[in-house]
Structure 1
Amino acid sequence: MRKDMMSHVDARGEPVSGASEDAITLYEKALAQLQCYQGDPVETIEAAVAESPEFVMAHCLRAYVFALATEVDAMAEAQKSFEAARGHSTTARERRHLAAIDQYLKGSWEGAIAVLEDTLVNCPRDALALQVLHLSDFYVGDARHLRDHVARVLPEWSADDPGYHALLGMYAFGLEECGDYERAEEMGRRAIDLNPRDAWAQHAVAHVMEMQGRQEDGIAWMRGREGDWANDSFFAVHNWWHLALYHLDLDQFDSVLAVYDDSIRKDRSRVMLDLLDASALLWRLHLRGVDVGDRWIELADCWEPLGEDGFYAFNDAHAMMAFVADGRTAAAERLLLAQQRAMTGTRSNAMMTHHVGYPLCNALRAFGRGDYVTAVDLLRQVRGRLSRFGGSHAQRDVFDLTLIEAARRDGQLSLVRALANERVELKPSSPLNQRYREEASRRLAEISGAAVV
């Protein structure tokens, strides 16, 4: 190792191996881009690797970006960076990172989370470990640790530390997923005050407003700050999706479709996270009976090459939405066969698919066939464990909406009323929730009156 790479530290004082000062500067830039979901962290970290090929943490950052993409093809790039990092001199912290990446490559979300958790216990100022752990908690649907893994390290940081805004933004999202909406919004806004470009903090506050049914506030929050979160951001599509949800809750379907066309599918992205948002939005419109034209065709075309991956059950469910809505029976069958294969393995996804993904995809297929009895039965079975295959409360709500609509179409009015009562209590400002309850109550009263007569 060159003398100028012997004893360098990152911006938070953690020792790093094999890096020049210039490479560390590039690493910090890539990390900041990842924290804000801004720019191209892969391009930046590759420049750091070119500057210092033995820079272990640079290779680790690149590996994580690909490992967290939830795409089969991306894992080859994660493996490439993992191999490049091995064989060099490393610190104990760096060896933990390599162990975590190894767990991702083996398909063990739980194993990677355990290693990263220990990394932060020993090195609470490890910004990359926290960033990756937070996203991993999200991918396995662990709301408590979305909050508490950040809370563990917050006292070890100060507002003067680079990236402190990211901790507040992550903590805001964890608080929101645990139902602490007031503190979540406070933390999210504090993060934005420190760094207006923090797209994750923007999204955390958006989640609060979604869960509280503050549609007009949400539209103002997103539109008023659009210049910060919508430009040069690889998280922009998801934030556009949040804006569209507010309009959808207000029955503003033209606005929803405008956001879909002008922002969510403007570039016809084939990035997995973008496809998820597109499916989730169109399916909500599908449940409402809204004519979306030929939009499903384009989206299902993008999903077809991915439908047999059996890699992550949350993705499978959203692919199934596209296949069902566009009438692609063969693609739906191939997806279910891929899930059957996935359930025989030892990866974390085997459990996710067995407990949630496979019955859920069968429920969606039944819904598409008009077999609402089966759809209701399967959705009720998995409803209490949906968090096990990842996502947020707002994202998983699409399955609750599918359940209540399937029950409505099957004439299970008492169930519709019960489910609608839940929704109204949580979000009374939603016209849809009110309509479900009012329609079910009215029809039940009519049936009761007819029986009496």
Structure 2
Amino acid sequence: MQNRTADGIAWMTASPDAWAGDSFFKAHNCWHRALYHLDRGDIDAVLGLFDTESYGTKSGAVLDMIDTSALLWRLHLRGIDMGDRYAVAENWSPIATPVNDAFDDAHAVTAFVGAGRRDAAASAIAAQRDAMARQDDNAMFMRDAGHQVCRAILAFGDGDYAATVRLLRPIRAIAARFGGSHAERDVLDLTLIETALRSGNAALAAALAAERPDSRHGSRLAQLLARRAQTMPLAA
């Protein structure tokens, strides 16, 4: 979150035994390393890490599937062809049910949308309605943020950018309620920015893109988004 990408890459490549080895968090730490490369625009390195470390084992562990789906969605937002890498959607299919938590659901829906499986995404969202009727913490997380996130992702996949903005903007300040770290939830802002750019909403795109350089000094991705926003034609 400090955008110290060079430091992060250097540490992780110099000391892999400290964070890899026989660790349940190996794929997650690799995901963080991939984000460093993604911010620097080194897509080949990102795809290389995805194919060998992130999803090379086709893991069915939910934590690994979350990381895989999150990385794919970030690449999807960049307009990068994922080929058959969205096969991770198959792993989500048996478990995209009302028993999942809101955070898991959001990543399952990104995988379904990215794979072009709209019906599966819509079914997962419909299942959330049963979960929201309960009286537990997850029901609250879904009502507050999770359900809107999933609906926004589906709307993005449908090209309904007005709906995506309408659903995502109100929950930016409370997104922590549905789980994840700052780095994980950053995908919501990236989705919102890309939505504004694609929909021609120059004012919103410029405002959102302008926030990132202040917190991520030297971020190439932040600079790219800012340039795209600045070159958008203003509405008549």
TM category (shorter chain) comes to over 0.9
Question: Displacement, 1:288?
Answer: 0.1
- SS of structure 2 residue aligned to 1:443: coil
The equivalent residue for 1:265 is 55
* Unmatched segments (≥5 aa) in structure 2: none
CA distance 1:359–1:310, change in 2 (3 Å)? farther
**Equivalences for 1:99-118 in 2 at 5 Å?**
none
Give per-residue Cα distances to partners, 1:236-288, cap 9 Å, x unaligned: 00000011000000110110011011111121111110000000000000000
Question: Displacement, 1:356?
Answer: 0.7
- SS of structure 1 residue aligned to 2:69: helix
The equivalent residue for 2:118 is 329
Distance in 2, matches of 1:263 and 1:360, equals: 27
The equivalent residue for 1:411 is 200
The equivalent residue for 1:227 is 17
The equivalent residue for 1:356 is 145
TM-score by length of 2: 0.97
CA distance 1:309–1:270, change in 2 (3 Å)? farther
Is 1:291 aligned to residue 81 of structure 2? Answer: yes
Is 1:368 aligned to residue 157 of structure 2? Answer: yes
**Equivalences for 1:195-274 in 2 at 5 Å?**
211-274=1-64
The equivalent residue for 2:182 is 393
Distance in 2, matches of 1:335 and 1:387, equals: 21
TM-score by length of 1: 0.51
**Bigger RCO of structures 1 and 2 (CA < 8 A, at least 6 apart):** 2
Distance in 1, matches of 2:116 and 2:187, equals: 19
**Equivalences for 1:2-21 in 2 at 5 Å?**
none
Distance in 2, matches of 1:333 and 1:415, equals: 28
CA contact (8 A) 1:310 1:316 kept: no
Give per-residue Cα distances to partners, 1:274-314, cap 9 Å, x unaligned: 00000000000000001111100x20000111112442000
Distance in 2, matches of 1:235 and 1:428, equals: 28
Distance in 1, matches of 2:91 and 2:175, equals: 25
The equivalent residue for 1:99 is none
Task: Specify which of 150, 167, 173 is matched with residue 384 of structure 1.
Answer: 173
- SS of structure 2 residue aligned to 1:428: coil
Distance in 1, matches of 2:109 and 2:99, equals: 12
CA contact (8 A) 1:213 1:427 kept: yes
Once the two structures are aligned, what percentage of the paired residues are identical? 49
The equivalent residue for 2:209 is 420
Cα RMSD between the aligned structures?
A: 1.2
Question: Displacement, 1:223?
Answer: 0.7
Distance in 2, matches of 1:320 and 1:279, equals: 9
Question: Displacement, 1:428?
Answer: 2.6
Distance in 2, matches of 1:428 and 1:348, equals: 37
CA contact (8 A) 2:73 2:110 kept: yes
Question: Displacement, 1:440?
Answer: 1.8
Distance in 2, matches of 1:309 and 1:232, equals: 32
Equivalent pairs counted in the alignment come to 236
Larger radius of gyration: 1
Distance in 2, matches of 1:270 and 1:358, equals: 24
Is 1:320 aligned to residue 109 of structure 2? Answer: yes
Distance in 1, matches of 2:90 and 2:162, equals: 29
Question: Displacement, 1:376?
Answer: 0.9
